[in-house]
């Protein structure tokens, strides 16, 4: 018993010493005593408090979020005194909170199989050197004002060469709408279909429902998918039908003109069905106005 007491005593002395050593740094001392935590508790956490102190000092000197030196960018390791212990957590700094608030509109745009970078697309950055973009941008302006005055503007069937900036342009529009709190979904259609077909999706119906009903929808790169009866008649058909009946703006990008799309949709592994392809294309035409974007390939 005596032995154990002795060990505990030695441990305690070591704790006190290490705390006193740390407190030789006046800034550390004023930091820990400013936490409103009992001294006997502070002594037990010298090392973690030193970590928190360093992060706190980093924050004091920090001018921009990008310069953050803390372990987790935008967060500060922070102690909180409890009854018998100190707990530590990562708290978002003011700059991080400001950024999160500024970017909160981004959650209005949902992406399926597309890169998050697209959320930075904006009208101000759209290349204006190329006149091909101007009529589309003009239509987008009309679209925004008509949408806001409760009209029923049509989407765009935007076709043209690979890399001309079709997806980027529509992302810029959806981001603009997101800032006005309007929700949208962009789907990279060929990959989305593969996923839908190959996975044992338990939430298939839920996802399908969401896509049908979202205020703004982009089916990106339509015509590049491997068309099957299922994808044409069970997926695309009902989505377009619902959106048409409910006047929900729907956008498409494609490397194919609408006539080429009709041909592509007619051919499936089960044969050729021109009537069903025509029916889909009729819906696309009802939902959109046709625009071409031919431009140099901007992909590196
Ligand atoms: P498409 O959909 O026609 O194949 P993208 O929209 O993917 O072409 O554009 C091709 C590349 O060029 C992408 O990397 C995209 O980010 C970039 N890009 C296109 N338009 C712009 C723009 N206005 N400003 C900056 N980058 C752009
Ligand atoms: Mg694209």
Kindly report the CATH number assigned to the domain that includes residue 286.
Answer: 3.40.50.300
Q: Is the CB of 125 under 6 A from ligand 1?
A: yes
> Looking at residue 6, what is its pLDDT?
62
Mean pLDDT over 76-99 rounds to 94
Q: Is the CB of 128 under 6 A from ligand 1?
A: no
Mean pLDDT over 43-54 rounds to 96
> Looking at residue 130, what is its pLDDT?
79
Do 49 and 115 fall within a single domain?
A: no
Mean pLDDT over 251-264 rounds to 96
Do 213 and 265 fall within a single domain?
A: yes
pLDDT at residue 257 is higher than 60:
yes
Give domain status of residue 180, yes or no. Answer: yes
Mean pLDDT over 72-93 rounds to 95
Mean pLDDT over 262-285 rounds to 93
Do 114 and 179 fall within a single domain?
A: yes
Range of lowest pLDDT (178-187, 202-211, 245-254): 202-211
> Looking at residue 207, what is its pLDDT?
86
Do 12 and 25 fall within a single domain?
A: yes
Give domain status of residue 33, yes or no. Answer: yes
Give domain status of residue 214, yes or no. Answer: yes
Mean pLDDT over 208-212 rounds to 93
The model's confidence at residue 131, banded by pLDDT at 50, 70 and 90, is confident
- Does the model's pTM come out above 0.85? no
Give domain status of residue 300, yes or no. Answer: no
Q: Which of 75, 98, 121 marks a domain boundary?
A: 98
Do 226 and 271 fall within a single domain?
A: yes
> Looking at residue 3, what is its pLDDT?
53
Mean pLDDT over 262-278 rounds to 91
Instruction: Report the mean per-residue pLDDT for the chain.
Output: 91
Do 278 and 159 fall within a single domain?
A: yes
Q: Is the CB of 253 under 6 A from ligand 1?
A: yes
Do 90 and 120 fall within a single domain?
A: no
Do 85 and 109 fall within a single domain?
A: no
Give domain status of residue 299, yes or no. Answer: no
Atom of ligand 1 nearest to the CA of 298: 12
| Residue of higher predicted confidence among 93 and 298 | 93
The residue whose CB lies within 8 Å of the most ligand 1 atoms, and thus the one to mutate among 116, 165, 223, is 165
Nearest alpha carbon, ligand 1 atom 13? 299
**Domain with 209 in it:** 103-293
* Environment of ion ligand 2 (residues, CB < 5 A): 167
Do 71 and 122 fall within a single domain?
A: no
- The DSSP line for the chain is -HHHHHHHHHHHHHHHHHHHHHTTSHHHHHHHHTT---HHHHHHTHHHHHHHHHHHHHHHH--SGGG--SSSTTEEEEEEE-SS-EEEEEEEPHHHHHHHHHTGGGGGEEEESS-GGGGG--GGGS--SSGGGHHHHHHHHHHHHHHHTT----EEEEE-STTSSHHHHHHHHHHHHHHTT--EEEEEHHHHHHHHHHS--TTHHHHHHHHHH-SEEEEETTTSS---HIIIIIIIHHHHHHHHHTT--EEEEESS-HHHHHHHHHEETTEE-HHHHHHHHHHHHHHEEEEE--------
Q: Is the CB of 81 under 6 A from ligand 1?
A: no
| Residue of higher predicted confidence among 2 and 273 | 273
Give domain status of residue 286, yes or no. Answer: yes
> Looking at residue 251, what is its pLDDT?
98
pLDDT at residue 202 is higher than 70:
no
Q: Which of 69, 98, 127 marks a domain boundary?
A: 98
The model's confidence at residue 255, banded by pLDDT at 50, 70 and 90, is very high
The model's confidence at residue 206, banded by pLDDT at 50, 70 and 90, is confident
Question: Could you tell me what percent of the chain has a pLDDT over 90?
Answer: 75
Give domain status of residue 298, yes or no. Answer: no
Q: Which of 78, 98, 118 marks a domain boundary?
A: 98
Do 271 and 137 fall within a single domain?
A: yes
The model's confidence at residue 262, banded by pLDDT at 50, 70 and 90, is very high
pLDDT at residue 211 is higher than 90:
yes
Split into its structural domains, the chain has a count of 2
Nearest alpha carbon, ligand 1 atom 4? 163
> Looking at residue 198, what is its pLDDT?
73
Do 191 and 279 fall within a single domain?
A: yes
Give domain status of residue 30, yes or no. Answer: yes
Do 9 and 111 fall within a single domain?
A: no
The model's confidence at residue 1, banded by pLDDT at 50, 70 and 90, is very low
> Looking at residue 243, what is its pLDDT?
98
The model's confidence at residue 86, banded by pLDDT at 50, 70 and 90, is very high
């Amino acid at each position: 018993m005596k032995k154990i007491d002795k060990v505990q005593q030695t441990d305690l002395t070591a704790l006190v010493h290490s705390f006193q050593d740390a407190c030789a740094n006046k800034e550390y001392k004023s930091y820990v005593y400013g936490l409103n935590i009992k001294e006997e508790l502070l002594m037990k956490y010298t090392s973690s408090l030193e970590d928190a102190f360093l992060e706190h000092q980093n924050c004091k000197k920090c001018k921009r979020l990008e310069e953050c030196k803390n372990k987790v960018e935008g967060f500060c390791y922070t102690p909180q005194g409890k009854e018998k212990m100190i707990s530590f957590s990562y708290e978002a700094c003011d700059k991080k909170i400001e950024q999160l608030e500024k970017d909160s509109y981004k959650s209005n745009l949902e992406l399926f199989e597309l890169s998050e970078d697209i959320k930075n697309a904006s009208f101000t950055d759209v290349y204006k050197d190329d006149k091909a973009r101007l009529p589309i941008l003009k239509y987008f302006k009309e679209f925004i004002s008509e949408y806001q005055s409760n009209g029923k503007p049509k989407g765009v069937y935007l076709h043209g060469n690979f890399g001309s900036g079709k997806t980027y342009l529509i992302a810029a529009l959806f981001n603009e709408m997101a800032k006005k709190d309007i929700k949208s979904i962009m789907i990279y259609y060929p990959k989305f279909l593969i996923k839908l077909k190959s996975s044992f999706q338990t939430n298939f119906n839920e996802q399908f429902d969401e896509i049908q009903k979202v205020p703004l929808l982009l089916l990106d790169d339509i015509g590049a998918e491997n068309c099957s009866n299922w994808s044409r008649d069970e997926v695309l058909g009902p989505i377009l039908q619902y959106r048409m009946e409910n006047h929900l703006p729907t956008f498409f990008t494609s490397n194919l003109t609408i006539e080429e799309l009709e041909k592509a949709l007619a051919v499936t592994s089960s044969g050729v069905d021109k009537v069903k392809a025509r029916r889909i294309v009729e819906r696309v035409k009802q939902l959109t106005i046709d625009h071409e974007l031919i431009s140099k390939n901007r992909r590196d």
